[in-house]
Amino acid sequence: MRTSRKLPLLAVVALALLWLILSGREDEGQDTRVSEGRAGEQGTQKETPEPEQRPGRPIGDGSTSDTGAQPGRMEVSKLAPGQRPPQFVVFSWDGAGEDDQALFSHFREVAKETNANMTFFLSGIYLLPESERDRYRPPGKPVGASDIGYLGDAEIRATLKQLRGAWLEGHEIGTHFNGHFCGPSGGSSWSEQDWISETEQARELVQTWRTTTGFTDIPPLPFDYSKELIGGRAPCLEGQQALLRAAPKLGFRYDASSPGGHQMWPQKVNGIWDLPLQQLPFPGNSFEVLSMDYNIMYNQSQTTTGSKAKHATWEDQAYETFMGGFERAYEGNRAPLLIGNHFESWNGGIYMKAIERTMRSVCTKPEVRCVSFRDLVDWLDAQDPKVLAKLSELQVGAKPDWASYLAGPQDKPTPSTPPKGPETAKAGVPRRGGRRLGDRAVWVRRN
């Protein structure tokens, strides 16, 4: 157990001024199957130069800084009359910690190669040393409690490096909140005020890591998290009703916690964009599956260590699930495809490989934009409300004549009816605790 290492205020201010000067200087059609030594393989990520960080105005103890407008963001434009909308695809990551698997850094490289922006939902306590756990006061739980444990010093450093680089590349840093509590005594039972407390603590942990860690040799995060944080995904997709009541008071513009949405254009709930995980065709089955790696894994093996003999088949099935959902939207109503992931090597890393194959297959197609949730809601908010209303009427599988459908007021085209027969596969949420970098169906303790 480490000892507490709090920095005096004057020392913190001095360090903040130092990093104002030093910011950014850190030495640190074909077969789509991902080759060995890439996604899903531990410790294989090559060191690449980090993006340059502009000098900025230190905030608070110097953990964060205001460096101006974020680089690498999608350019937003309004649809012209009769124009077909882009096919948006959002790849998002729950937890967003970097460990020896180096998956955070790996997928940043994949995003560069595929011209993609993504959303990283950071668990705030991944920046809090275990020796400082008493700073976290989860609703209805003992002080310092966590169902995902705490990261070590090296992992906190690595996570900070990835967050810094990701933001400078145009990716979004959202929140997965903190202790990841599920079930009757977790987020599903939280009140509006509980969610406000949990979110404010997540913000504070990002804004005070220099004080809590004692790290003095790395630059600040290049963003103001009080402005950057505009949405999140609740652990285990629980408690959304109360969270949506809290969201406007938190400055949120969207929430991505809803399970089981259809592939339709999103709408607002309580003034907040509701961006759910979606039901996608699940090859070889009569039911559909949620657009998240965990749900696919659970419906294949019910464990993170399933039969190795089935890994290749399961990887292809996961890839075909994502691609089936993509093609249904791309060739149809163009509803944004929303995919959730975790930096985990379940079943030999096959879901990481399937996601990478999907990114390489779809993000370079014509009229496709792989974006963050922030990019998506910026685009939605820039559109004519009448156009958004027309888009939201399109059912799953609808294939309108875009030139006429969005040209102006007219009769609605006959929409396709959402499938009623298939059911969405559901997976129970286990109650065991254990350290992980995101949600898990089956936990494996790491010593």
pLDDT recorded at residue 446: 29
Q: Is residue 15 a contact partner of residue 216, using CB atoms and an 8 Å limit?
A: yes
Q: Which domains does the chain have, with CATH numbers?
A: 83-405 (3.20.20.370)
DSSP for 144-168, written as a single string: T--SS----HHHHHHHHHHHHHHHH
pLDDT of residue 48: 64
Q: Angle 220-225-230 (CA atoms, 0-180°, nearest 5)? A: 150
List, in sequence order, every residue forming a beta bridge with 57; answer none if it has no partner. Answer: 66
Which residue in 299, 305, 296, 309 sits closest to 354, CA to CA?
Answer: 296
Interval 143-152: pLDDT, tens: 999 999 999 9
Q: Residue 41: what pLDDT?
A: 52
Give me the pLDDT at residue 27, please. Answer: 36
pLDDT at residue number 262 = 96
Query: What pLDDT is attached to residue 39?
Result: 55
Which residues of the chain, if any, have pLDDT below 70?
1-48, 409-447
Q: What is the pLDDT of residue 209?
A: 99
What does the pLDDT look like over 187-202, one tens digit per residue? 999 999 999 999 999 9
Look at the alpha carbons of 240, 245, 249, 255 in this order and tell me if their dihedral is positive or negative.
positive
